[in-house]
Amino acid sequence: MRTIQTEVLVIGGGATGTGVIADLALRGFRCALVEKRDLAHGTTGRYHGLLHSGGRYAVKDPKAATECIEENVILRRIMPHCIEDTGGFFVVTPWDDDAFGDRFMQGCRDTAVPCEEISIPHMLREEPHLNPGISRCFRVPDGSADSFLATQSVAALAQAHGAQILHYYEVKQLIRQGDRVVGALCYDLVKDEEVAVHADLVVNAAGAWAGKIAHTAEVEVNVRAGKGTMIAASYRIVNTVVNRCKMPADGDIIVPVHTVSIIGTTDEGVPDPEHFAIEPWEVQLMMQEAAKIVPGWHDLRMLRCWGGVRPLYQETKVADTRDVTRAYTLLDHETRDGVAGFITITGGKWTTYRQMAQVTVDRVCEKLGTARPCTTHETVVPNPFEQGHGRQHHNLGQRLADVEKEEAFGQLICECELATRADVEHAITQGEAKTIDDVRRDVRVGMGPCQGGFCTYRVAAIWHELKKPSIEETNVTLRDFLQERWKGLMPILWGPQLKQERLDELIYLSVLNADHLPGPRASRLGPAMYEPGTVWESDHAHV
């Protein structure tokens, strides 16, 4: 069996894991990260896209609010290219309690979240599609953040400082020697082989999967998976993050992310972070709640629906509470369970990933008996896709402006998201892409209204040209991606998106005969589809 030796092994390539590996690398540790799929394949790539100001927690969870605003300021500074400075509103709709506004203001004051009340006419001038029945509006420094780009950027920073990032490496089992974890047994999905990674210390940053990982070393960590469902409308009906001003609940935030507006989310316990359903009631609830904020919401085209799973940690043992906040949890299994060489970091927010990484690596230093100061709060994260362009906040018009400047109209592969041939080629040849879905996370192909209808075959052709796989391999790559797009369309097939899917279906199944092309139907790199939703039996169903 192949083996890899390193000082610190990080499990999980989400925001937390990549944050930890970058911090480790910057502090000069030899380190490796294993991720069972692509970076941001987990919750990080399925989140709501909100750079929290802390406003959401100002009343309910002040500690989390403070963490958010501290990190909000830092992230804007260190990764501006991943953040759009949309600003945020908290609005009191006719369904909410007017008086909550005052509690909200007070909460923001107490937690140092900047907040000002603005007039309704002013609000409507900025966001004309908001409900004119809104009675109060507060402005906070929320933002919109691209977690794909952020994760890639942070990982690239780690690599630049010597870290090893291993994609499509799934941890099968932690390697335990006596009361010490000494590494992990991994499976390389691409090469189809087992690899043993040995390390002095293992950091478990597997999000909602953290319990499963720990379990393989007979350490019990009770992480429940809390599913949240989100729906993207096909364009930016709002350009500001809009939160309902009330206690946090389901479907109360609309976030403008890149070209879309996302309504979210729900919070439902599911038995398995990988296998869950998107329920029809969730879709209905999102539509209904969104319309309270933007009354025309029902007329918009819904582009896609997806779910992510929150890692909800519940302590069952007497914990080492030193670094435990209500927002995220650091478990030192040596003090907690008597198992050395093993740390778990879980919970938290995307917004607080850097702080989570910092406390984790502080603990690593302590464990490995060295003192090295953290520098991530002052290290600007470069944009791996655009050298030298990383210092400005992202904005919506940027891609269009780039394409216009280069007159690259004829070079568009994904027309909806304006991804050019050069973008796609760069992602295929320079990046770590193993599937078209990985290319999507890098350059947003297939994420627009047609959901891959016109770009999938183009990307597959470029893929084939550049990577020179067998025809069968290219065919299955194409099929995997079509399946992946289909996955998020099923829950929202009505109106224009239904028409679109019918056209896409004709393109792929009738014109290109995609499901009968030679090669396997699907590969192990393909998507895990959502489970079927709970079927509701109507009273009249059997009449």
Partner 1 sequence: MTNNIWEAQLDITPSDHKPVELTLDHCIKCNICVTACPVTAVTDLFPGPKYVGPQAGRFRHQGQPSPDHSVDYCNGCRVCNMVCPTGVKIAEINGRARAHIVQSGQVPLRRKLRNNLIARPELMGKVGQPLAPIANVLLHSGFGRFFAKLLLDIAPNAPLPRFSGERFSRWARKRPDAVRSARKVVYFHGCSTEYFEARVGKAAVQVLEANGFEVIVPPQNCCGLPLLSNGEFAAAQAYHESNIHHLIDYVKQGCVIVGTSTSCTLTLKEEAPEMLAYHTPDAQLLTANTFDIHEFLVHLLDAGELKTDGLKPMPLTLAYHPPCQYRAHRLGRPSTEIMALIPELTIIESQAACCGVGGTYGYKAEKYDITMAVGKSLFDFVQEVNGPIAVCDSETCRWNIAAVTGVPFVHPIELLAAAYGYEPEGPLAEVMK
Ligand X SMILES: Cc1cc2nc3c(=O)[nH]c(=O)nc-3n(C[C@H](O)[C@H](O)[C@H](O)COP(=O)(O)OP(=O)(O)OC[C@H]3O[C@@H](n4cnc5c(N)ncnc54)[C@H](O)[C@@H]3O)c2cc1C
Residues of the shown chain interacting with partner 1 in the complex, contacts defined by CB under 8 A: 126, 234-236, 239, 259, 296, 299-301, 395-401, 404, 407, 409-410, 412, 415-416, 418, 448-450, 453-454, 496, 499-500, 503
Tokens 């609005």 belong to: 91
Long-range contact pairs involving 386-389 (C-beta distance under 8 Å, separation at least 24): 386/81, 389/81
- Closer residue to ligand X (CB): 59 or 208: 208
Residue nearest to ligand X (CB): 14
Q: Least CB distance from residue 471 to partner 1, whole Å?
A: 27
Q: Least CB distance from residue 292 to partner 1, whole Å?
A: 19
294 binds, among partner 1, ligand X, none (CB under 5 to 8 A by kind): none
265 binds, among partner 1, ligand X, none (CB under 5 to 8 A by kind): ligand X
Q: How many residues sit in the footprint of ligand X (CB under 6 A)?
A: 38
44 near ligand X, rule: CB under 6 A? yes
- Positions in 2-41 near ligand X (CB under 6 A): 11-17, 34-37, 41
170 near ligand X, rule: CB under 6 A? yes
325 near ligand X, rule: CB under 6 A? no
88 binds, among partner 1, ligand X, none (CB under 5 to 8 A by kind): none
Binding-site string for ligand X from residue 331 to residue 370, where x marks contact by CB under 6 A and - marks none: -----------------xxxx-------------------
207 near ligand X, rule: CB under 6 A? yes
Tokens 């919401």 belong to: 297
Contact 449, 410 (CB under 8 A): no
Name 407's Cβ contacts closer than 8 Å, sequence gap at least 6.
Answer: none
Name 401's Cβ contacts closer than 8 Å, sequence gap at least 6.
Answer: none
489 near ligand X, rule: CB under 6 A? no
Q: Least CB distance from residue 311 to ligand X, whole Å?
A: 6
Phi, psi of 160 (to 5 degrees): -60, -25
* CA distance linking residue 376 with residue 356, whole number of Å: 11
Instruction: Give the residue, chosen from 22, 42, 256, 357, that forms a contact with ligand X under the rule CB under 6 A.
Output: 42
Instruction: Give the residue, chosen from 9, 137, 199, 205, that forms a contact with ligand X under the rule CB under 6 A.
Output: 205
373 binds, among ligand X, partner 1, none (CB under 5 to 8 A by kind): none
341 binds, among ligand X, partner 1, none (CB under 5 to 8 A by kind): none
DSSP alpha helix (H) spans, 392-527? 398-406, 421-429, 436-443, 456-467, 471-489, 495-505
- Closer residue to partner 1 (CB): 248 or 295: 295
Burial (CB count within 10 angstroms: exposed 0-12, middle 13-18, buried 19+), residue 532: exposed
Q: Least CB distance from residue 542 to ligand X, whole Å?
A: 36
Tokens 């391999």 belong to: 473
Instruction: Give the residue, chosen from 4, 50, 283, 424, that forms a contact with ligand X under the rule CB under 6 A.
Output: 50
Q: How many residues appear in the chain?
A: 543
Q: Is 31 helix (H, G, I), strand (E, B) or coil?
A: strand
Helix (H) or strand (E) holding 446: none
316 alpha carbon, distance to own chain's centre: 28
265 near ligand X, rule: CB under 6 A? yes
303 alpha carbon, distance to own chain's centre: 17
471 binds, among partner 1, ligand X, none (CB under 5 to 8 A by kind): none
* CA distance linking residue 223 with residue 28, whole number of Å: 31
β-pairing, 260-264 with 253-257? antiparallel
Q: Least CB distance from residue 187 to ligand X, whole Å?
A: 9
Binding-site string for ligand X from residue 213 to residue 232, where x marks contact by CB under 6 A and - marks none: x--------------x----
Contact 43, 207 (CB under 8 A): yes
- Closer residue to ligand X (CB): 50 or 450: 50
251 near ligand X, rule: CB under 6 A? no
Name 456's Cβ contacts closer than 8 Å, sequence gap at least 6.
Answer: 436, 445, 446, 478, 481, 482, 485, 508
170 binds, among ligand X, partner 1, none (CB under 5 to 8 A by kind): ligand X
Residue 94: CB atoms within 10 A of its CB come to 10
309 near ligand X, rule: CB under 6 A? yes
DSSP for 263-276, written as a single string = EE---EEES-SSS-
Contact 43, 310 (CB under 8 A): yes
The β-bridge partners of 3 are 196
126 binds, among ligand X, partner 1, none (CB under 5 to 8 A by kind): partner 1
- Closer residue to partner 1 (CB): 113 or 443: 443
Contact 244, 324 (CB under 8 A): no
228 binds, among ligand X, partner 1, none (CB under 5 to 8 A by kind): ligand X
User: Residue 200 is which amino acid?
Assistant: D
Helix (H) or strand (E) holding 513: none
- Closer residue to partner 1 (CB): 272 or 415: 415
Binding-site string for ligand X from residue 123 to residue 162, where x marks contact by CB under 6 A and - marks none: ----------------------------------------
| List of residues contacting ligand X (CB under 6 A) | 11-17, 34-37, 41-44, 47-50, 52, 170-171, 205-209, 213, 228, 264-265, 308-310, 348-351
